[in-house]
């Protein structure tokens, strides 16, 4: 599994096509996809995707983590982009059958098999800038990935941006290519000017999310993260971590968090912050950059609370702790 995260792929993928109904899915080579140069997706960004993982369990079996929640979000993105409606049962079948096809090649934990369901508009119609694509293709790519922390535990630098936005405020719930593309200019500028790893978007002075992950603050017994609305992506990892935290009796607060409050709390020695997502579960944030000044989060180093949250969720994913919430789909 040498190379960067997500750059290697299994040699085959599951694919189906929509034209007045969904075709039967089939396994095809994963190194190419035929599209007309006028395909809607290439001009008007009619594309959405998901990211989830299959894990080799402690007993040798293979299980997919929270497939139902990812498929539900995939279907939601599809509807918000006005792509042809998904057959969710077919999508589930495509995912499970793809993983089963390569079951023997799913790596041992902490490595995993990353799963990327994708839905794209394929109608050849460059005059449809203000209309939906009536045809589409859905496929499921598989990518074996190593331990996100194999190069050492993350300690990220975030630029707080109270001027820019990741995407349109009514479009944040879509996990689509356009939202990531619109955030890229902010991220590249932050890297060049401040050596930042990511941008934490704070429209109106209130913390939202980064270009690719949800944000949470851990201050003593309190866990603070933005309440759900349509302006940002509702992370499945975020949801899982908060459910586990509530079960442990921690004070989970889904609410507005201003930049001022964030920086004041970050000065507390016990304070920690993290970015949550499929790739890393939760990656520690050590430095916040705002208005030309750098602010350490707590000690400025990864702390025990973020690490414990990651370890607890990993234990469920890897089958070393009981799956009491039925989050795993055995393949």
* CATH code of residue 268: 3.20.10.10
121 lies in the same domain as 262 = no
18 lies in the same domain as 93 = yes
Residue with tokens 């993260």: 225
* Measured CA distances, 211 to 86, 218, 271 (Å): 26, 20, 23
| Residue 199, domain extent | 156-318
CA distance 101 to 263: 49
212 lies in the same domain as 112 = no
Among 306, 183, 174, 168, which Cα is nearest to 234's? 174
CA distance 308 to 49: 29
Q: Is the peptide bond before 191 cis (omega within 30 degrees of 0)?
A: no
Whether residue 2 is contained in a domain is answered as no
103 lies in the same domain as 164 = no
pTM: 0.95
Residue 117 CA, distance from chain mean position = 12
Domain boundary among 82, 116, 145: 145
Domain boundary among 105, 126, 145: 145
133 lies in the same domain as 176 = no
Whether residue 28 is contained in a domain is answered as yes
- Long-range contacts: 20-24, Cβ < 8 Å, 24+? 22/84, 22/87, 22/90, 22/138
Per-residue pLDDT of the chain (331 residues; tens, 9 = 90+): 445 788 999 999 999 999 999 999 999 999 999 999 999 999 999 999 999 999 999 999 999 999 999 999 999 999 999 999 999 999 999 999 999 999 999 999 999 999 999 999 999 999 999 999 999 999 999 999 998 877 778 999 999 999 999 999 899 999 999 999 999 999 999 999 999 999 999 999 999 999 999 999 999 999 999 999 999 999 999 999 999 999 999 999 999 999 999 999 999 999 999 999 999 999 999 999 999 999 999 999 999 999 999 999 999 999 999 999 999 999 9
133 lies in the same domain as 165 = no
- Kindly state the tokens that stand for 216: 């949470």
86 lies in the same domain as 207 = no
- Kindly state the tokens that stand for 25: 């899915």
Question: Domains in the chain: how many in total?
Answer: 2
């Amino acid at each position: 599994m040498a190379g960067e995260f997500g750059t290697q792929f299994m040699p085959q993928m599951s694919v189906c096509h929509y034209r007045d109904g969904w075709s039967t899915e089939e396994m095809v080579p994963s190194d190419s996809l035929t599209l007309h140069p006028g395909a809607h997706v290439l001009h008007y960004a009619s594309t959405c995707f998901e990211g989830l993982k299959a894990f080799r369990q402690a007993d040798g079996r293979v299980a997919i983590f929270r497939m139902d929640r990812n498929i539900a979000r995939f279907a939601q993105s599809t509807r918000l982009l006005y792509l042809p409606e998904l057959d969710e049962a077919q999508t589930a079948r495509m995912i499970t059958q793809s993983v089963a096809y390569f079951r023997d090649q799913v790596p041992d934990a902490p490595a995993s098999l990353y799963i990327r369901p994708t839905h794209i508009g394929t109608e050849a119609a460059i005059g449809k800038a203000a209309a939906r694509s009536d045809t589409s293709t859905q496929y499921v790519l598989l990518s074996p990935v190593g331990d996100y922390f194999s190069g050492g535990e993350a300690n990220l630098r975030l630029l707080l941006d109270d001027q820019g936005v990741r995407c349109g405020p009514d479009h944040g719930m879509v996990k689509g290519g356009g939202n990531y593309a619109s955030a890229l200019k902010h991220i590249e500028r932050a890297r060049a000017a401040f050596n930042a790893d990511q941008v934490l978007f704070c429209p109106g002075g209130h913390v939202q999310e980064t270009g690719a992950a949800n944000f949470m603050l851990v201050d003593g017994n309190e866990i603070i993260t933005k309440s759900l609305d349509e302006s940002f992506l509702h992370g499945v990892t975020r949801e899982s971590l908060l459910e586990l935290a509530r079960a442990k009796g921690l004070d989970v607060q889904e609410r507005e968090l201003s930049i001022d409050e964030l920086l004041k709390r970050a000065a507390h020695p016990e304070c920690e912050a993290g970015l949550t997502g499929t790739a890393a579960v939760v990656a520690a944030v050590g430095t916040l950059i705002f208005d030309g000044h750098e602010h350490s989060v707590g000690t400025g180093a990864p702390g025990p609370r973020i690490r414990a949250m990651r370890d607890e969720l990993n234990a469920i994913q890897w089958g070393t702790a009981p799956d009491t919430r039925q989050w795993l789909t055995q393949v």
